[in-house]
Amino acid sequence: MEKLRKAVSEIAYTQDPTKLTHLHRSLIPVLSFASSLYRLALSLRRSFYHYALFTKHRLPVPVISVGNLTWGGNGKTPMVEFIARFLADSGISPLILTRGYAGGDETKMLRRHLLGRPVKIGVGANRAAIAALFFEKYGYVDPYSTSNYADGLNLGQKVGNHPSSETIGAVVLDDGMQHWSLQRNLEILMINGLTLWGNCHLIPRGPLREPLNALRRADAVVLHHADLVSEQRLTDIDSMLREDAFVKGMEKIGAFYVDRLEFSDHHIFQPKDIEMMRKKLRELEDAFGSKPVVIVTEKDYDRDPGIFKHLDPYEILALCSELKIIPRGERTEDSFKKLLKEI
C-alpha cells in the first residue's frame, strides 16, 4: 500500500507524463477515471450547498479558516498555531476546530505548543456540533454587541456565566477550505511554495482537492516554504521547485549529508518500516564510519513515540517548527496581524 501511495504521489507531482516509468503511466487511466468521479461528487456537493439543500451553519463568533487546495505539507498547522497564539496573547480565547486525522498527531502538537494559553481544541468531523458543546460549556463573546474595545479588537458582550479567560471569542477552523458546512469571516489559503499545484489534476490523478478557480474564495494566500524559494520563483510562482523541503531544512541547519526515507502524510509506522530504517542506518554507519542521527517530524513522533525506541542505539530527534512570516514589500507580520484584527 505504501508503494502505491508513493507511486500516486510521484504521478501527482510530475508535470511531464513522459518522464514517468511505464508502471506509473499504466496507472494514469485508472487514476483519471477516479478523478472524474471525484470531480462529479465535488460538483454535486457544491450544488447542494448553493441551493441550500445542505445547511451552512453560522457560529456566534468570528471564524478564521485555514486551509489548502492540495494534500499535505502546506503549513496549515503552524498557521493555526500562530493565529491561536496571537488571539490568546491579544486577550481573546480561541477555539480550534480540527477533524483530528490519523491518531491526532497534529492535535497533540498543538496542545503542547499552546500549553498555558487560554486556547481550546475541539476534535471531530461534525465541527458545528463540537463548537456548540464548547460554547455551552465555556460561553462565548458576542462580537456584534456594542461594548468594549482593546487594541482594536471588539470584545463585545460575554454570553454565559464563565470566567472571561475561558469565554470563547473566535474560532480557528483547521483544514477548513473544503469544510463548507461552516460559514467563515476570513479564508486563509496555504500554498506549498516548493510544489505548488503539482500536475494540476484533481485527486487521485493529481494533488488538487478542488479546481484552481477555488483560489477566488481566499481572502489571504500564504506561501509556505517561502524561505526556500528563490526571488525569481517568488516573482514567477507558476513554476515549481522539485527539491524536498525537509531535506533542504536539514541542510540549512548544518547536516553535512542527508539521506531520507519518504512516507505519506500521517503514515502509521509498522515494524517493517522500522526494520527498513535500521537497514538504512547500518548502511550509512558503514559508509561514514559514525552513527547517523534519525530526524523525524514532530507530527511523526507524536503519532507513535514508542515505536522509535526500536531504533536504539541510534539517536532520535524530532524536528519542531513554528511559523515565521518573511516580509515581502508591504506584506509583513504586522500587516497580517492587522488583517486578523480587522476581521
Q: Which of 225, 123, 222, 218 is nearest to 174 (CA)?
A: 123
Name residue, grid cell 461534525: 126
Q: How confident is the model at residue 254 (pLDDT cuts 50, 70, 90)?
A: confident
Q: What's the CA gap between 133 and 114, in Å, rounded?
A: 21
Tell me what pLDDT residue 222 has: 86
Whole-angstrom Cα Rg for the chain:
22
Cα dihedral 214/217/219/220 (nearest 10)? -10
Within the chain, strands assigned E span 63-68, 93-98, 120-123, 140-142, 148-150, 153-159, 168-174, 186-192, 220-224, 294-297, 316-319
What DSSP designation does 116 have?
Answer: T
pTM higher than the cut 0.85: no
Domain limits, the chain: 2-50, 63-197+209-236+326-342, 245-319
Q: Report pLDDT digits (tens) over 148-197.
A: 434 444 445 566 666 566 899 999 999 999 999 999 999 999 988 888 88
Indicate the residue type of 69. Answer: L
Q: How confident is the model at residue 255 (pLDDT cuts 50, 70, 90)?
A: confident
Q: What's the CA gap between 245 and 26, in Å, rounded?
A: 29
Q: Which fold has domain 63-197+209-236+326-342?
A: Rossmann fold (3.40.50)
Name residue, grid cell 503539482: 198
Set of cell numbers at residue 56: 451552512
